[in-house]
Amino acid sequence: MSASPLSLLLRLLLLFSVVSLAPPRSAASSCGGGGGRPVVFNFGDSNSDTGGLAAGLGFPVNPPNGRSFFGRSTGRLCDGRLVIDFLCQSLNTSFLIPYLDSLAGSKFTNGANFAVVGSSTLPKYVPFSLNIQVMQFLHFKGRITELASAGSEVPVSVDEFTKALYMVDIGQNDLADSFSKNLTYSEVINTVPSIIVEIKTAIKTLYDQGARNFWVHNTGPLGCLPQKLSLVEKKDLDENGCLSSYNSAARIFNEGLLKLCQEMRSELADATITHVDIYAIKYDLIANASKYGFSSPLMTCCGNGGPPYNYNIRVTCGTPGCEACSNGSQHISWDGIHYTEAANSIIASKILSTAYSTPRTPLNFFFRGRHARVKCI
C-alpha cells in the first residue's frame, strides 16, 4: 500500500530536519563575544548553497570546485567563494554553515544556511523546496528555544532571532525547470504568480516567528547562462548573445518580486525589507565584460566542448573528462550555471554599494551598534 502524502512529509522532515544542537562550552567565544555578532539565516538554491547538498545527501561536489580560495571542495558550486561568502566577510563574520551539516555541532553562532542546490519554490514538500527550508528553520528555532528554556547554553540566543537578517535568494530554478519542460513562453510566465506567492508565504511565516529584517535577491539573467545557451536549439539572442525569452521571463519574475517587497513593506510596517536587483548587476557584468577584466563572458571555465560555450551536459564540472581553464579570474561563468569567485566578488561589491537596493539600505545597517569587529573566517 502506498504511503499517504502526510506520512511521506513526516519521513522527509525526520530525515532532513535533524541538526546537532549540543550546547557549546561557551556560546560567546567563537566569534567576537556574545550578542555582538551579526546573525544571518539564508534560504535559497545553489547560488548561495555553502555545502547543504553535500552535507544533506552526501552528493559529491568534486574538485576543481573550491580550488581558488579553499584549496579543496567545500560543497560550493564555484571555484571559490560565493556572493553570500563575500557578504558575510563584509560583516566580519564567519561563513554560514549549512543547516544540514550534522558535523557542525554547536557552531551555528552566526546563523545557518538552509539553501540547497536545485531548490525551488514549487513543487512544495519536496527536498528542498522553499517551504521545507522554512520548516527546517522553525525546527531549528524551536529546538534553540527549548534548550534555552532548560537553562542550556545555545549558539544563538532567543532574542537574536528577531535581530537577525533573513536572506532569500530563490526562483531561478522555478523558471529554468518550466523552460526545460518545454512549456511555451506564455505558460512559463503563467507560473510566476505561484512562485511569488510561495516567497510571500515564506516571508510572512518568518515574520510571524519574529523576523523583522529581510534581504531579498531577485534572479539573474537566466538566458545568459552557458548551460541554457548550449541546450536551446532555437536561439532568440539579444545584442549580447543571451536568450531573450529566458531573460524576459526572469525580468517579469523580478518585477513581481519587487512589487511583492513593496506591498509587504506596507503590510508589515515594522519590518525592513530590502530588494536587491541581482539581474541588473549580472547583466551589466556580461554586457561590459571587458571593462571588468573578463573575456568570453558566455564561455564556461570548467566545462567540455569548446567554443562558443564550452558546456556539455554529459561532461560537467567535477566529472571525468572535464577540465577547468587555467585562470578562472578571466571568466564570469565557472561551470555553465554558476559564477566564478572573481565574478562573485564584483557582484558582492555592487550589492554592498546599495546602488541596486530598494530601499538603499547598507547591509551592516541591521547590525550597527552590535557589530563584532572581529574576523573569524
What pLDDT digit, counting tens, does each position of 76-96 carry? 999 999 999 999 999 999 999
Could you tell me if residue 324 is inside a domain?
no
- Residue 341 inside a domain? The answer is no
- Among 22-36, 140-154, 337-351, 355-369, the least confident range: 22-36
Confidence (pLDDT) at 372: 37
pLDDT at 368: 77
Q: Which residues are catalytic?
A: 46, 335, 338
Q: Is residue 125 part of a domain?
A: yes
Domain count, the chain: 1
133, 127 Cβ separation under 8 angstroms: no
Domain of residue 118 covers 5-225+233-283
**270 has a pLDDT exceeding 50:** yes
Say yes or no to pLDDT of 44 above 70: yes
The answer to whether position 47 is within a domain reads yes
Residue 140 lies in a domain: yes
Q: What is the CATH number of the domain that holds 221?
A: 3.40.50
The answer to whether position 9 is within a domain reads: yes
Residue 109 included in any domain: yes
pLDDT band at 204 (very low <50, low <70, confident <90, very high): very high
Task: Please tell me the pTM assigned to this model.
Answer: 0.89
Whether the CA torsion 220, 222, 224, 228 is positive or negative: it is positive
Instruction: Kindly write down the DSSP assignment for every residue of 97-145, as one continuous string.
Output: PBTT-GGGTT--TTEEE---TT--S-SSSSTT-HHHHHHHHHHHHHHHH
Q: Is residue 313 part of a domain?
A: no
